Amino acid sequence: MKELPSEQDLQLWNYAFTGAETMDLLRWCVAYFGPTLALGTGFGLSGMVLLDMLMRISRDIDVFFLDTGLLFAETYAFRRSVESHYGISIRGVRPTLSLEEQTRLMGDRLWERDPDLCCALRKVEPLATALHDRSAWLTAIRRDQSPTRRHIALFSLDKRLNVVKIAPLAFWQEADCRRYVRDHRVPVNPLHRRGYPSFGCHTCTRPVGPGESQRAGRWPGFAKTECGLHWHRGRPAPVLPLASPQVDKQP
């Protein structure tokens, strides 16, 4: 069983790094957590900022994405170009159930009937798989992305996943990310230029119009605003029992 830091440790870390340079925070994380640190990315704008900053510190950091099998073709292609750009391999972590198995067990197009269950199967459970032997999870979520993220801390405990959750960009704004990718020539997912400020599975994302919030295009037709990795109706999302982890290998 991994040992989590105490609440006192977390308070100290949050106090020490509030207002600090993000690169200093990241250097400390890399030194402190070593090979048990992992970055989860969805290949969005802030995810690429965080990845680029980490790559300036070390190319040995574990980077993974949750491969639901339903991501945009642009995202799958972008993953390969990011790997090539940084000379790294990014783990794709798949759900226990293939899409065909999910359809057989739960019917066709589960996301149109019960997106919470679909996300639990295709995102939350694979996240637990991805982090089962890690101590710390880096995520690029920011406070300005949505009301549900307004109070996120730099460091917190995710007790359902038994990891330290680290949000180094918690206090960044959208404009800060845009400036960073421009100044550092960071690859940007082409979906952003096509009206998708936020995206996940193509089945559950539409482009947003002028004046709409960044996440307005997620799960259209449902009240759902989060997939459950970070927040789910005011409580942690269910984590289903793990079967055999499916982590893809580079062809």
CA angle in degrees (0–180, nearest 5) for 95-230-245: 20
Residue in 119, 128, 136, 140 binding ligand SF4, rule: CB under 6 A: 119
**Is residue 123 at the binding interface for ligand SF4, with CB under 6 A as the rule?**
yes
**Residue 213, both tokens:** 């919030």
Q: In angstroms, what is the C-alpha Rg of the chain?
A: 17
Q: Which is nearer to ligand SF4, 40 or 115 (CB)?
A: 115
Q: Which is nearer to ligand SF4, 203 or 214 (CB)?
A: 203
Residue in 127, 227, 229, 237 binding ligand SF4, rule: CB under 6 A: 227
Distance in Å, CB of 205 to ligand SF4, minimum: 7
Query: 58 CB contacts (<8 Å, ≥6 apart)?
Result: 30
Size of the site for ligand SF4 (CB under 6 A): 13
d(CA 247, CA 19): 37
Residue in 40, 42, 47, 115 binding ligand SF4, rule: CB under 6 A: 115
Distance in Å, CB of 204 to ligand SF4, minimum: 3
The amino acid at residue 230 is H
d(CA 104, CA 98): 10
d(CA 15, CA 25): 12
**Is residue 111 at the binding interface for ligand SF4, with CB under 6 A as the rule?**
yes
**Is residue 215 at the binding interface for ligand SF4, with CB under 6 A as the rule?**
no
Nearest alpha carbon to residue 232 among 122, 149, 131, 110: 149
**Is residue 204 at the binding interface for ligand SF4, with CB under 6 A as the rule?**
yes
**Is residue 201 at the binding interface for ligand SF4, with CB under 6 A as the rule?**
yes
Contacts of ligand SF4 in 54-73 (CB under 6 A): 68, 70
**Is residue 217 at the binding interface for ligand SF4, with CB under 6 A as the rule?**
no
Q: How far is CA 139 from CA 39, 108, 130, 194, 201, in A?
A: 6, 31, 13, 24, 18
Q: Which is nearer to ligand SF4, 82 or 110 (CB)?
A: 110
The amino acid at residue 33 is F
Site stretch for ligand SF4 (CB under 6 A), options 23-31, 39-47, 114-122, 160-168: 114-122
Q: Which residue has the tokens 């991994």?
A: 2
**Residue 229, both tokens:** 């990795």
d(CA 138, CA 140): 7
Distance in Å, CB of 190 to ligand SF4, minimum: 19
Q: Which residue has the tokens 């308070």?
A: 11
Residue 29 is a catalytic residue: no
Q: Which is nearer to ligand SF4, 25 or 120 (CB)?
A: 120
As annotated, the active-site residues are 227
**What does the binding site for ligand SF4 look like in residue numbers (CB under 6 A)?**
68, 70, 111, 115, 118-119, 122-123, 200-201, 203-204, 227
